[in-house]
Amino acid sequence: MTQTFKTVGVVGAGTMGAGIAQVAAAAGCTVKLFDARDGAAQAAITKSKESLQALANKGKLTPEAAASTAARMHPATDLNDFHDCDLVIEAIIEDLAAKQALFKSLESICAESTVMATNTSSISVTAIGAALARPENLVGMHFFNPAPILPLVEVVSGQLTASAVADRVEAASREWKKTPVRCKSSPGFIVNRVARPYYGEAFRVLESGGADVATIDLVLREAGGFKMGAFELLDLIGLDVNLMVTKSVWNAYYQDARYRPSLTQEEMVAGGMHGRKTGRGFYTYPAGVPAAPASAFGPAPTMVQYLSESDALDPLMERIKAGGIKIQSRKEDDPLGAGQFRVGNAVVCLSDGRSATQIAYEEDLHNVVTLDLARDFSMCKRVALAKGDETTTAALADAVGLFRALGIEVSVIDDIPGMIVARTLAMLANEGADAVLQGVSSAEGVDTAMKLGVNHPEGPLAAADRIGLNLINAILVNMHSHTGDDRYRQSMLLQRKVWGEGAFRDPQ
C-alpha cells in the first residue's frame, strides 16, 4: 500500500511526541524526532525501543516488527534535518507564540508541499496559522495519551486549512491504525468540550449536598455505565490539568455558564490536592477508591403497578417480570418519557429533572420517590433513589425493597433535581448536540470521539436517541426552571429534533 507520508518529523520528545513518533514508525514511516533539550530525542527513542522489546517479549508484537519500528526512528540534531519531511508534527508546550515561531522556522526549511500538523489540545489551529505564509498547509492532528494505545485522532481544520491537507492527514491516521474524526477548530475541539459536563455535573451534585464523592462515583459507574466515576477520573488526570482545560474552554466561550469551573476544584488545586500524582485528591493514595458501602434494604414486593408507561422504563419492567413480580399496568403513556409506577406505598417516578418534592407538589401525589436514570435498566448493578420531603421512610423502604429483590444495589441520595446519571447524560447529549449544530463535527463524529477519546460506553447522542429525546429534553427544561442556571439551556438542535420527532443518528 502506498503511504500518504513517507518521512515524518516530530518536534518534541516528551510523552506525546515520543508516542506519536512510535506510531508513525510502526506504520512504516521514516521518523525524525527533535527536541530542544540536548539528548532528549535519543533518550525518548531508547525508551521506545525498550517498550517495543517488552511488547515483543510478551508476544504482543513480533520481534521483527519491534526491530523494524525501532530502526525507523532517528534523532534529529536540529530543525534543518526536517528538510525532506513531507509531514511535520509538533508536540511542544501549549503556547501560541512558541508554536507559531516553530512553524515559521519549519516553513523556511521544508518544501512548500510539506504538511504541518499541530498536536495542540486547546489552541486554535486558525490562530497558529495566522502567523504562517502557508496556513493552508496547517492542520490539527490531536492524539490522545498514550498515543501508541488510544485509537482516536481529532483531525482539526482551521479556517484556512486546505481540505486536501485534512484529507491526507485523515488517510494517514487510518494507515497508522488510528480512528480519525474530522472537526473544525473551536475551543476544546470535540472531546475536551463535550466531556466538560461529566465533571461539571458531578461537582454540582456534590456542592448542592446531593451525595458524597464516593456515592457519586459509584452511581456513575454502576448505574451510568461509565468506566470510572468523575472524581476518580479527575484524580487520575490531575485536578490541576483538568481545571486548566476547563478554564481554557470557559474563557474561550466568553465565560459561558455551561463551562463554569467549580470553586471546590479551585480550592483543592490551590491546596496542592491534585490527585494521584500528589497522593491526595478526592481520594487518598495508594488506598484509592474505597469499597462500596452496604446497600439499603427494604421488603420484597409481590406486585408493581405501572402507572405511566415510558420507553426508558420498559427494560426495568421486563426485569421485574423476570424476577417473578406481578406487573399491573394502566397503559397510560407519559408524553415526557419519564414514567411512574407504584410499589407498596411509594410512587416511584423516573427522574425528569424535577425533585421528588416538586413532583409531589405539582402532581398532587403522596410518598413520591424519584428513580435516577440508568444507562441500561436491564442489567445495571445499582440505582439511586431519593425521597420527597413528605415521603415516609416506610414508602422509601418499599421502593428500595423492589430493587433489592431484583439483585440491584441501592444508593439513597438527597432530593435534588436531575439526580446524578439523568442530569449527566442529558448534559452530555446537550453539549454534543450544540457541537453538531455549530458545525464542529457530525453526530457520528461526536459519538465516535467520546467513545474512543474518553472511553464512554456509547456516544452521548446515540444514548440520547436510545433513552428518548423527550425525556432528555424534559430533564434540561426542568433543571433550567428549578435552578435558573443558564448552563441547562437546551440546544436548539435538541429542541428541533424533539419537535420534529427525529433522532440525532440514523437507525442502524
**Cβ-contact 293, 410 below 8 angstroms:** no
Element (H, E) at 404: helix 393-405
**Rg of the chain over all Cα atoms, to the nearest angstrom:** 26
Residue 94 CB coordination number (10 Å): 14
Residue ranges, comma separated, of all CATH 3.40.50.720 domains in the chain are 7-185
pLDDT tens, residue by residue, 238-282: 999 999 999 999 999 999 999 999 999 999 999 999 999 999 999
Single-letter amino acid, residue 329: S
- Compute the average pLDDT of residues 6-21: 97
- Compute the average pLDDT of residues 444-450: 98
**Cβ-contact 330, 307 below 8 angstroms:** yes
pLDDT tens, residue by residue, 128-155: 999 999 999 999 999 999 999 999 999 9
pLDDT tens, residue by residue, 369-399: 999 999 999 999 999 999 999 999 999 999 9
Element (H, E) at 422: helix 421-437
pLDDT recorded at residue 64: 95
**Cβ-contact 351, 468 below 8 angstroms:** no
- Compute the average pLDDT of residues 216-221: 98
CATH topology of domain 303-412: Transcription Regulator spoIIAA (3.30.750)
334 pLDDT band, cuts 50/70/90, is: confident
**Distance of alpha carbon 463 from alpha carbon 472, whole angstroms:** 10
Out of 3.90.1150.10, 1.10.1040.50, 3.90.1170.50, 3.40.50.1000, the CATH code matching 193-278 is 1.10.1040.50
Element (H, E) at 183: strand 179-184
Higher-pLDDT residue of 31 and 3 is 31
3-state per-residue secondary structure call for 427-440: HHHHHHHHHHHCCC
End-to-end CA distance of the chain: 31
Residue ranges, comma separated, of all CATH 3.30.750.190 domains in the chain are 303-412
**Distance of alpha carbon 490 from alpha carbon 305, whole angstroms:** 33
Residue matched to cell numbers 482516536: 152
Residue matched to cell numbers 512553524: 103
- Compute the average pLDDT of residues 489-508: 92
pLDDT recorded at residue 336: 79
Element (H, E) at 292: none
Residues contacting residue 455 through CB under 8 Å, at least 6 positions apart: 227
pLDDT tens, residue by residue, 196-208: 999 999 999 999 9
**Cβ-contact 119, 146 below 8 angstroms:** no
**Cβ-contact 316, 223 below 8 angstroms:** no
pLDDT at 1 over 60: no
Tell me the torsion sign for CA atoms 232, 236, 239, 241: negative
**Cβ-contact 67, 73 below 8 angstroms:** no
Which of these, 213, 188, 193, lies nearest to 203 by C-alpha position? 213
335 pLDDT band, cuts 50/70/90, is: confident
414 pLDDT band, cuts 50/70/90, is: very high
What the block records as the C-alpha cell of 39 is 539528548
**Distance of alpha carbon 178 from alpha carbon 175, whole angstroms:** 7
- Compute the average pLDDT of residues 94-120: 97
331 pLDDT band, cuts 50/70/90, is: low
Residues contacting residue 419 through CB under 8 Å, at least 6 positions apart: 205, 210, 351, 370, 372, 373, 384, 386, 413
Bond from prior residue into 63 cis (ω within 30 degrees of 0): no
pLDDT tens, residue by residue, 48-89: 999 999 999 999 999 999 999 999 999 999 999 999 999 999
Residue 50 CB coordination number (10 Å): 11
CATH number for the domain whose boundaries are 7-185: 3.40.50.720
295 pLDDT band, cuts 50/70/90, is: confident
Give bridge partners of residue 462 from the DSSP assignment.
none
Residue ranges, comma separated, of all CATH 1.10.1040.50 domains in the chain are 193-278
Mean pLDDT of the chain, nearest integer: 96
415 pLDDT band, cuts 50/70/90, is: very high
Q: Chain centroid to CA 61: how far? A: 30
Which of these, 7, 75, 77, 9, lies nearest to 43 by C-alpha position? 75
* Residues classed as catalytic: 121, 142, 154, 192
**Distance of alpha carbon 118 from alpha carbon 108, whole angstroms:** 17
CB burial of residue 253 (10 Å; 0-12, 13-18, 19+): middle
Residues contacting residue 253 through CB under 8 Å, at least 6 positions apart: 187, 259
Under DSSP, the state recorded for 296 is P
pLDDT tens, residue by residue, 174-196: 999 999 999 999 999 999 999 99
Bond from prior residue into 187 cis (ω within 30 degrees of 0): no
pLDDT recorded at residue 506: 80
**Distance of alpha carbon 22 from alpha carbon 185, whole angstroms:** 26
Element (H, E) at 166: helix 163-175
pLDDT at 436 over 70: yes
b/e per residue, 472-501, with b = 16+ CB within 10 A?
Answer: bbbbbbbbbebbeeebbbbbebbeebbeee
